[in-house]
């Protein structure tokens, strides 16, 4: 019996509360110039360290050892969906995250504004994120594009801003396929890749995407930074067994970035309002909605953003900010609490990596390791949970919250 069916059969309602905190990209690597410490080891985290001493720790692999996960794969695993079974494109997640009404015939694409340089040999990417422009600037550029590119070859085109350099493009036609390769070269100094159909059914989608980029480049040629776009995650909305039905819970999601709101929405969680973009604002939402839900997903983005930017000190500060606010979660008295990440984003690596993520589970039923000194990669490596798939997160949360019945006779 596969895990998804098993958990669905064993899950039961109960009067208990669960909180899943995802410190996006929390895992790090030791940096010699920073005392040989990871960001988590260097951060001053008295509250996390104290909690670790009365919790169970481990290291979790988001997909498989050695496999670098995307954010959707890591979060699917956290939510109990096998990331090897459910491949969900970033386009769908971004579109759902901003509340775009996707239709069955839509192909959604996650797009990044980028900076390119025109050379005799062709276009070269100089900044994959266009200097992270303000969201207001992105909104203006998207409005300009929407006005001038309402359709391509009879295919309606919808262009919507997301956040900073990110925006969404939706192509609407029953003649389109979703299997198109990303155009992001994943490196500066390289040319953008062409939209390439991976199946015959996607040939028209690739052609429409290529024409879209051509028209976009012409419209934005005088922009100093946001003068091109990189396309990723061509996808249609998949069908999933919804999270609340599977686990017999009322589930609320607290996240600021649209992509993570989109993923939570896709799985059937209710998106809770957040009055601001800070961790403190997210904590306020948790407290305001505490009585209305059994399960809370709380997402912290800053750890990942600072890691991708190579900002070691900035990532340390985000961890410390969360630590200062952690007592607000504990004061609510959750019956089961998990603090982990969806993947590692070491600042020294400046991107997602394959390293397992630190994992903490706390409840009245844990068996702490007496030698635990705090919450870090090294402490988690020596923890009682050992190394395990991140896919088992919901197993642990449900069990510690008294929400799983006994298996077999």
The answer on pLDDT for 367 being more than 80 is: yes
Are 211 and 299 found together in one domain? no
Are 101 and 70 found together in one domain? no
The answer to whether position 33 is within a domain reads: yes
Share of the chain above pLDDT 70, in %: 100
**Domain boundary pick from 182, 216, 235:** 235
pLDDT in tens, 95-134: 988 889 899 899 999 999 999 998 888 899 999 999 999 9
Q: Which of 203, 200, 107 lies closest to 158, judged by CA?
A: 107
The answer to whether position 318 is within a domain reads: yes
Are 201 and 247 found together in one domain? no
Are 322 and 281 found together in one domain? yes
The answer to whether position 65 is within a domain reads: yes
- Asked if 10 contacts 407 with a C-beta cutoff of 8 angstroms, the reply is yes
Are 274 and 314 found together in one domain? yes
pLDDT in tens, 291-345: 999 999 999 999 999 999 999 999 999 999 999 999 999 999 999 999 999 999 9
Per the model's pLDDT, the better-predicted residue between 262 and 49 turns out to be: 49
SS3 for the chain is CCHHHHHHHHECCCCCCEEEEEECCEECCCEHHHCCECHHHHCCCHHHHHHHCCCEEEEEECCCCCCCCCHHHHHHHHCCCCCCCCCCCHHHHHHHHCCCCCCCCEEEEEEEEEEEEEECCEEEEEECCCCCCCHHHHHHHHHHHHHHCCEECCEEEEEEEEECCEEEEEEECCCCCCCECCCCCCCCCCCCCCCCECCHHHHHHHHHHHHHHHHHHHHCCCCCCCCEEEEEEEECCCCCCCHHHHHCCCEEEECCCHHHHHHHHHCCCEECCCCCCCHHHHHHHHHHCHHHCCEEEEEECHHHHHHHCCCHHHHHHHHHHHHHHHHHHHHCCCCEEEEECCCECCCCCCCCECCCEEEEEEECCCCCCCCCCCCCHHHHHCCCCEEEEHHHHHHHHHHHCCCECCCCC
Are 59 and 164 found together in one domain? no
CATH of the domain at 333: 3.40.720.10
Q: Which domain holds residue 226?
A: 94-235
For 146-154, what is the mean pLDDT? 96
The answer to whether position 370 is within a domain reads: yes
Provide the domain count of the chain: 2
pLDDT in tens, 270-279: 999 999 999 9
**Domain boundary pick from 183, 207, 235:** 235
Are 99 and 83 found together in one domain? no
The answer to whether position 406 is within a domain reads: no
Are 378 and 246 found together in one domain? yes
CA atoms within 13 A on the CB side of 36: 1
Per-residue pLDDT band for 254 (boundaries 50, 70, 90) equals very high
pLDDT in tens, 41-79: 999 999 999 999 999 999 999 999 999 999 989 999 999
**Domain boundary pick from 192, 216, 235:** 235
Are 204 and 277 found together in one domain? no
The answer on pLDDT for 1 being more than 80 is: no
Phi, psi of 245 (to 5 degrees): -70, -40
pLDDT at 177: 94
Are 110 and 197 found together in one domain? yes
Are 264 and 306 found together in one domain? yes
pLDDT in tens, 215-247: 999 999 999 999 999 999 999 988 888 999 999
pLDDT at 237: 87
The answer to whether position 408 is within a domain reads: no
Per the model's pLDDT, the better-predicted residue between 237 and 154 turns out to be: 154
Are 252 and 395 found together in one domain? yes
The answer to whether position 337 is within a domain reads: yes
The answer to whether position 405 is within a domain reads: no
pLDDT at 347: 96
């Amino acid at each position: 019996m596969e895990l998804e069916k098993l958990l669905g059969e064993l899950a039961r309602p109960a009067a208990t509360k669960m909180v899943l905190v995802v410190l996006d990209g929390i895992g790090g690597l030791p940096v010699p110039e920073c005392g040989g410490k990871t960001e988590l080891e260097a951060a001053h985290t008295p509250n996390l360290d104290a909690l670790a001493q009365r919790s169970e720790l481990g290291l979790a692999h988001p997909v498989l050892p050695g496999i670098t996960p995307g954010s959707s794969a890591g979060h699917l695993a956290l939510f109990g969906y096998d990331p090897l079974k459910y491949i969900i494109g970033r386009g769908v997640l971004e579109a759902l995250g901003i509340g775009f009404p996707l239709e069955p015939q839509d192909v959604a694409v996650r797009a990044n504004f980028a900076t390119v340089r025109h050379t005799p040999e062709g276009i070269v990417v100089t900044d994959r994120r266009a200097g992270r422009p303000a969201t207001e600037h992105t909104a203006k550029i998207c409005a300009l594009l929407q006005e001038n590119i309402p359709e391509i070859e009879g295919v309606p085109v919808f262009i919507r801003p997301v956040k900073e350099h990110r925006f969404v493009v939706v192509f609407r036609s029953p003649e389109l396929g979703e299997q198109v390769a990303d155009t992001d070269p994943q490196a500066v100094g390289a040319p953008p890749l062409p939209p390439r159909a991976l199946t015959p059914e996607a040939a028209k989608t690739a052609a429409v995407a290529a024409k879209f980029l051509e028209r976009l480049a012409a419209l934005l040629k005088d922009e100093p930074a946001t003068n091109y776009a990189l396309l990723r995650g061509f996808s249609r909305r998949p069908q999933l067994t919804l999270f609340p039905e599977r686990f017999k819970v009322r589930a609320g999601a607290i996240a600021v970035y649209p992509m993570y709101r989109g993923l939570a929405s896709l799985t059937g969680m209710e998106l809770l309002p957040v009055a601001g973009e800070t961790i403190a604002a997210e904590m306020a939402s948790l407290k305001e909605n505490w009585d209305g839900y059994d399960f809370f997903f709380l997402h912290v983005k800053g750890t990942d953003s600072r890691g991708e930017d190579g900002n070691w000190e900035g990532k340390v500060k985000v961890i410390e900010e969360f630590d200062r606010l952690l007592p607000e979660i504990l004061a609510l008295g959750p019956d089961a609490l998990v603090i982990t990440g969806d993947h590692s984003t070491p600042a020294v690596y400046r991107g997602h990596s394959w390293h397992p993520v630190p994992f903490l589970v706390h409840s009245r039923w844990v068996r702490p390791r007496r030698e635990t000194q705090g919450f870090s990669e090294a402490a988690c490596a020596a923890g009682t949970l050992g190394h395990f798939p991140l896919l088992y997160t919901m197993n642990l949360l449900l069990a510690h919250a008294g929400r799983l019945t006994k298996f077999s006779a």
